Structure 1
Amino acid sequence: MSNDKYATPLSSRYASDEMSKIFSLRHRFSTWRKLWLTLAKAEKEVGLEMITDEAIAEMEKHLEITDEEIEDAKKEEAIVRHDVMAHVHTFGKTCPAAAGIIHLGATSCYVTDNADLIFLRDAYDILIPKLVNVIDRLSKFALEYKDLPVLGWTHFQPAQLTTVGKRSTLWLQELLWDLRNMQRARDDIGLRGAKGTTGTQASFLSLFHGNHDKVDELDEKIVELLGFDHAYPCTGQTYSRKIDIDAVAPLSSLGATAHKMATDIRLLANLKEIEEPFEKSQIGSSAMAYKRNPMRSERVCSLARHLGSLYQDVFQTSAVQWFERTLDDSAIRRISLPSAFLTADILLSTLLNITSGLVVYPKVIERRIKSELPFMATENIIMAMVENGGSRQDCHEEIRVLSHQAAAVVKEQGGDNDLIERIKNTEYFKPIWDDLEKLLDPSTFVGRAPQQTEKFVKVTVAEALKPYQSYINDEAVKLSV
């Protein structure tokens, strides 16, 4: 790749080689050749005698397009201003025995649209295993920390306690929904098949001399040879661009999940409670040597915004298609479809790296709980006093006064929360002095968080991952940059 030309960072910097390859020029044009070969084979099997064994054998030997052929096709396209016909000519020069039957009866969208559908399916086959492993690793983290109390936040203000594991189930549940949506989208992808110029199959009906059964058989044969289970029954010149909405929507939704999760981790890093992995030689700042910036989570948030925006591309493209097709879908789809899958691939690779090495700091978590728990324990203290014969109203007033005094120490003087010390020094509360330690045990403030977490992981997550056991591994995931 030339250093003098702009290259999208999605492929040149971040995305995996396997995902980048799917949307590469070589793979695209080689897939076109595979589709022309498939068409010829199907036409021959259905009864077109003009398709020879020699032509098919020659095409089979040259499915992988060479660099020289790509350059030849570029030169041809500059003359004819049509990318598909440029490649028909180039393939024909390489396979002279097949030159007369390449693309026979087909329109350009036979190769461009069917190839795109193959790419969407194969791209999902890369994403889904990565998502499965993110879920698997995060579920292990949830179980490991299911009992560790942590301060909960609502409105980013201190709230009731939860546990570190329970909080991670909030991320996990959304990831499970993403898995469901992505698998459903992948399984729904079909082929355009051999439908002709406006979807009527008129050219193929002519080839088979008006035999409708043979035209149907041809379409079915192409689906079978390409490893799909169905072709869309109705198309115009293109397959409906609503299919692109169905394919990209789950990815944009994944972007929302990833952004929320990564934002939580960024906030937790600021609180010094949880951090993403930080490599031994990693530099956080060129000026501030002590910095441990959450760069992986920041990358996730950055690219998740882009992924979410791509939904509008496919939505608008689908909405403005006229009748059997217009060409204003072409340029934008060359950008938005690869971008969506490359970006989703990067997000999942990064999340896989993050969930493989989340670092928890229990002592920091404990200190923060201690600073807030006295306020949260006031209701428990009131109830304990009532059980010892006190008046709820009297106790409420006593603890209200002490709470405001302790809050002033924290907010105005920058001191520690000394509410418990004040309670210990107030004669009114003497009946429960010996019970204070028990009343302030953090584990008694987390409700059913540990039980919820264990049940969710061992039942809900386990059930969802059953079909994907062969995908699960413990391979280390290192980000290239």
Structure 2
Amino acid sequence: MQLSSLNAISPIDGRYRSKVEALSNYFSEEALIKYRVLVEIEYFIALCEIPLPQLERFDANLFDDLRAIYKNFTADDALKIKTIESVTNHDVKAVEYFIKEQFDALNISEYKEFIHFGLTSQDINNTAIPLSIKEAMNDVYVPEYFKVLNELKSLSNEWKAVSMLARTHGQPASPTRLGKEIEVFVVRLEEQFNLLNDIPSAAKFGGATGNFNAHKVAYPTIDWKAFGSKFVQEKLGLQHSFPTTQIEHYDHMAALFDCLKRINTIIIDLDRDIWTYVSMDYFKQKIKKGEVGSSAMPHKVNPIDFENSEGNLGIANAVFEHLAAKLPLSRLQRDLTDSTVLRNVGVPFSHTIIGLKSTLKGLNKLLLNEAKFAEDLENNWAVVAEAIQTILRREAYPNPYEALKGLTRTNEKITQDSISNFIDTLDVPNSIKEELKQITPSNYTGI
């Protein structure tokens, strides 16, 4: 059966494929194979550049031809490797055999035993996968993150003067400003992104148990640790983890996933707040002609984008959580559990991208209902009690908190008039009474 968006098991390859298609260049099986080919080719070139004695006569003019093997990598090439794997039953060995065939085609067969020389599969996997994650982050994730961040910055500035009734514990509280509340999310996201930038993209490269055993026994005079670090850091742009076992310890990768999870959690918090503001009628939503909000209720315009985002970011976080908790654990010098788990690394990234796109779409549909903001403030004059009692404290008025508590904690509605009448009963100078009467729910918004 031909795979299509209708018969794919996962929605990220089905319903949401168009939203995450760019990630297939980094996290698909074909992409993983291509990154493995890249590492193998660059490793061979690095051996030539030492040079190993047997590679001294290798023509450096052929480096471009070698790099073309991965730069011009096609789906047909990936299929060839999968065909080889059906015989070898080993994915990395299949890549090695494929490259050897390319060497034969370039008439450089005498050098092909230096492909994958001294390496274990994890020297390839634990460089290919961190490299794919790093490039996916830079090329796909970061641009989507900044789209959301910049939209929030714009809205924070646009709404900076909009007074709003705050709600703590769901109850009316000291007023705030809508722009400031959005700015809270901006700063939270920026701080976590700064932490994200500090996390290195680390890779293991050191042979079957991390000690360059095979390299050293073949060429004992070469500083293989220095070679490995130079290769990983200068050729691949990653940080060389050393010492390691057979596999990368994944501590830095776990930190990356934990940080991505925290960013997702902040956006979930935003989604829920905006959803609540929509339910409070603080926001209307732009209506697109032809769209249906409910199959039964024609009037409905649901905040589905924020709900979609929350759901997808929740799934992303569940998988990021498992990856971060599981990957740093490996029995003795290695077990295979990391291999199958890492094949799912594109899943949380996909759900994260879907979530970011949905949040952005929802933000772009919001229409400010300023009348509702004003109405809620006018209906909650009790919130200025904090301001009044604080000024009375300043003036050494006796028991101001208790006086305001007696006024406001009744079942009677507190209005501008009742506040004004209360102020008139206070034994304070008229200048203080006038100061107190200037305070309203709309202007008592702090800094």
Band of TM-score, shorter chain: 0.7 to 0.9
2:143 aligned residue: 129
Q: 1:91 to 1:401 in 2, by over 3 A?
A: closer
* C-alpha contact 2:202 2:240 (8 A) present in aligned 1: yes
- Is residue 210 from structure 1 mapped to residue 220 from structure 2 by the alignment? yes
- Is residue 341 from structure 1 mapped to residue 346 from structure 2 by the alignment? no
* C-alpha contact 1:107 1:196 (8 A) present in aligned 2: yes
- Aligned CA-pair RMSD: 3.5
* C-alpha contact 1:35 1:111 (8 A) present in aligned 2: yes
Give the alignment's TM-score, normalised by structure 2.
Answer: 0.83
2:123 aligned residue: 110
How far does residue 65 in structure 1 lie from its aligned partner after superposition?
A: 3.3
CA distance in 1, matches of 2:408, 2:158: 40
* C-alpha contact 1:259 1:301 (8 A) present in aligned 2: yes
**Larger RCO, structures 1/2 (Cα 8 Å, 6+ apart):** 1
Q: Matches of residues 68-79 of structure 1 in structure 2 within 5 Å?
A: 68-79=76-87
How far does residue 142 in structure 1 lie from its aligned partner after superposition?
A: 1.4
SS of the residue 2:86 aligns to: helix
Q: Matches of residues 370-389 of structure 1 in structure 2 within 5 Å?
A: 370-373=378-381, 375-378=382-385
CA distance in 1, matches of 2:405, 2:187: 43
- Is residue 100 from structure 1 mapped to residue 104 from structure 2 by the alignment? no
Give the alignment partner of residue 25 of structure 1, picking from 25, 29, 42. 29
How far does residue 10 in structure 1 lie from its aligned partner after superposition?
A: 2.7
Letter in 1 for 2:85: E
1:245 aligned residue: 254
Percent identity among equivalent residues? Answer: 18
SS of the residue 1:9 aligns to: coil
- Is residue 443 from structure 1 mapped to residue 420 from structure 2 by the alignment? no
CA distance in 2, matches of 1:113, 1:344: 23
- Is residue 139 from structure 1 mapped to residue 153 from structure 2 by the alignment? yes
Q: 1:150 to 1:355 in 2, by over 3 A?
A: same
Letter in 1 for 2:67: E
1:9 aligned residue: 11
CA distance in 1, matches of 2:277, 2:292: 20
Q: 1:253 to 1:382 in 2, by over 3 A?
A: closer
Q: How many residues align?
A: 426
CA distance in 2, matches of 1:306, 1:299: 11
Q: 1:363 to 1:198 in 2, by over 3 A?
A: same
Give the alignment partner of residue 198 of structure 1, picking from 178, 194, 209. 209
SS of the residue 1:151 aligns to: strand
* C-alpha contact 1:275 1:294 (8 A) present in aligned 2: no
Q: Matches of residues 390-409 of structure 1 in structure 2 within 5 Å?
A: 396=403, 400=407, 404-406=411-413
CA distance in 2, matches of 1:20, 1:189: 20
Q: 1:376 to 1:29 in 2, by over 3 A?
A: same
Does 295-304 or 67-76 show the bigger shift? 67-76
CA distance in 2, matches of 1:70, 1:425: 81
Q: 1:324 to 1:148 in 2, by over 3 A?
A: same
SS of the residue 1:443 aligns to: coil
How far does residue 236 in structure 1 lie from its aligned partner after superposition?
A: 1.3
How far does residue 262 in structure 1 lie from its aligned partner after superposition?
A: 0.3
1:282 aligned residue: 291
2:167 aligned residue: 153
Q: 1:325 to 1:214 in 2, by over 3 A?
A: closer
Instruction: Write out per-residue CA displacement over residues 372-392 of structure 1, whole angstroms, 9 at most, x where no aligned residue.
Output: 12x224566789999xxx998
1:367 aligned residue: 375
- Is residue 351 from structure 1 mapped to residue 353 from structure 2 by the alignment? no
Letter in 1 for 2:50: V
Q: 1:218 to 1:266 in 2, by over 3 A?
A: closer
2:186 aligned residue: 172
* C-alpha contact 1:273 1:365 (8 A) present in aligned 2: yes
- Is residue 82 from structure 1 mapped to residue 86 from structure 2 by the alignment? no
CA distance in 1, matches of 2:30, 2:149: 33
How far does residue 116 in structure 1 lie from its aligned partner after superposition?
A: 0.7
SS of the residue 2:446 aligns to: coil
SS of the residue 1:150 aligns to: strand
1:300 aligned residue: 309
Give the alignment partner of residue 322 of structure 2, picking from 294, 300, 313. 313
SS of the residue 1:284 aligns to: coil
Letter in 2 for 1:10: I
* C-alpha contact 1:133 1:352 (8 A) present in aligned 2: yes
How far does residue 293 in structure 1 lie from its aligned partner after superposition?
A: 0.9
Letter in 1 for 2:12: L
How far does residue 319 in structure 1 lie from its aligned partner after superposition?
A: 4.8
Q: 1:370 to 1:88 in 2, by over 3 A?
A: same
Instruction: Write out per-residue CA displacement over residues 379-433 of structure 1, whole angstroms, 9 at most, x where no aligned residue.
Output: 66789999xxx9989x959974995333xxxxxxxxxx7x44667899x87999x
CA distance in 2, matches of 1:401, 1:210: 84
Does 342-351 or 140-149 show the bigger shift? 342-351
1:37 aligned residue: 41
- Which has the larger helix fraction? 1
Instruction: Write out per-residue CA displacement over residues 222-262 of structure 1, whole angstroms, 9 at most, x where no aligned residue.
Output: 5312234x311212111112232112011111121011000
How far does residue 123 in structure 1 lie from its aligned partner after superposition?
A: 2.1
Regions of 4+ moved over 4 Å: 54-58, 275-278, 378-386, 390-393, 395-399, 420-426, 428-432, 434-440
List gaps (5 residues or longer) in structure 2: none
CA distance in 1, matches of 2:391, 2:80: 86
CA distance in 1, matches of 2:8, 2:20: 19
Give the alignment's TM-score, normalised by structure 1.
Answer: 0.78
CA distance in 2, matches of 1:402, 1:338: 54
How far does residue 198 in structure 1 lie from its aligned partner after superposition?
A: 0.8
Q: 1:401 to 1:105 in 2, by over 3 A?
A: closer
Instruction: Write out per-residue CA displacement over residues 102-146 of structure 1, whole angstroms, 9 at most, x where no aligned residue.
Output: 212221112211011101211221323332342232122212222
How far does residue 40 in structure 1 lie from its aligned partner after superposition?
A: 0.8
How far does residue 328 in structure 1 lie from its aligned partner after superposition?
A: 1.4
* C-alpha contact 1:248 1:311 (8 A) present in aligned 2: yes
CA distance in 2, matches of 1:402, 1:100: 85
List gaps (5 residues or longer) in structure 1: 407-416, 449-481
Letter in 2 for 1:6: A
CA distance in 2, matches of 1:309, 1:55: 46
